Structure 1
Amino acid sequence: MNRTGALAVAALGLLGLGVLARGRWPGSAPALDCDPGAVRVVEGVAVCGDGAAPSSAQQLLLGRKLDLNHVSEGELAGVPGVGRSLARRLIQAREARGRFASWDEVASVPGVGDARLESLQATVELR
């Protein structure tokens, strides 16, 4: 077999693998048939019904946002793009002025620039 034939066989093989992978790839439908607020964790597995409430890290993995007005410093430090020092400043600002009512208040905390504010808005909410 010449080089062109070998490349054709390799391309067809890759195409076949792609079709097979596409057929087995998970869809966008939720894996659990319950409200996201009813998701609990039993032995590290997300289930509907009884069990422990998901930790902050588990909530993020489940695609749920944390409440910036109730999250602890340690939980906030685990949010991507935040870290310990910014988490401390955010919690101190929250304790000094009360709950955050707008994203403008969050943006006024030292260390929260445009990029970090965008990252925060993707992972936390103001309830």
Structure 2
Amino acid sequence: MNRTGALAVASLGLLGLGVVARSRWPDSAPALDCEPGAVRVVDGIAVCGDGAAPSAPQRLVLGQKLDLNSVSEDDLARVPGIGPSLARRLIRAREDQGRFASWAEVAAVPGVGAARLETLQATTELR
């Protein structure tokens, strides 16, 4: 077989591998067949039904948002882009003024610029 034939065989092999990989690639369907609020953790595995409620870091990994009006300072500090000093300022503001009622109140906390506000909106919610 000449070099052109070998390249053709290799190309067809790679194309076939790509087709197989695409057909086996995970789809966008949820892995669990329950509402996000019903997800529980048993031995570190997310399940529907009985078990412990996910911790704040587990909720973030599961794609769930944290409640900014009840999350602890330690858990909020673990959110990427927040850190301990901003978490402390947010918790103090929440304690001083009461629950956050709007994102404008969150934006008024020193250290919350546009980028951090966007991070907070993506990872937390105001309940």
TM-score by length of 1: 0.92
Q: Which residue of 1 aligns with 2:86?
A: 86
Q: Which residue of 2 aligns with 1:99?
A: 99
Q: Which residue of 1 aligns with 2:11?
A: 11
Gaps of at least 5 residues in structure 2 are none
Paired with 1:98 and 1:78, the residues of 2 have a C-alpha distance of 22
Q: Which amino acid aligns with 2:9?
A: V
C-alpha deviation, 1:63, in angstroms: 1.0
Structure 1 stretch displaced more, 10-19 or 86-95: 10-19
Tell me the secondary structure at the aligned position of residue 23 of structure 2.
helix
Tell me the secondary structure at the aligned position of residue 40 of structure 1.
strand
Paired with 1:27 and 1:101, the residues of 2 have a C-alpha distance of 37
C-alpha deviation, 1:5, in angstroms: 4.0
> 1:54-95 CA deviation, whole Å, 9 max, x = no partner?
011111111110000000000101111101111111101111
TM-score by length of 2: 0.92
Gaps of at least 5 residues in structure 1 are none
Paired with 2:21 and 2:84, the residues of 1 have a C-alpha distance of 40
Paired with 1:103 and 1:6, the residues of 2 have a C-alpha distance of 61
Structure 1 stretch displaced more, 71-80 or 9-18: 9-18
Paired with 1:66 and 1:49, the residues of 2 have a C-alpha distance of 20
Residues 14 and 104 of structure 1: is their aligned pair in 2 closer, same or farther, counting only changes over 3 Å?
same
Q: Which residue of 2 aligns with 1:70?
A: 70
Q: Which amino acid aligns with 2:122?
A: A
> Is the counterpart of residue 48 in structure 1 residue 69 in structure 2?
no
Report the number of matched residues.
Answer: 127
Residues 11 and 75 of structure 1: is their aligned pair in 2 closer, same or farther, counting only changes over 3 Å?
same
Residues 5 and 71 of structure 1: is their aligned pair in 2 closer, same or farther, counting only changes over 3 Å?
same
> 1:30-52 CA deviation, whole Å, 9 max, x = no partner?
11111111110000111111111
Tell me the secondary structure at the aligned position of residue 13 of structure 1.
helix
> Is the counterpart of residue 122 in structure 1 residue 115 in structure 2?
no
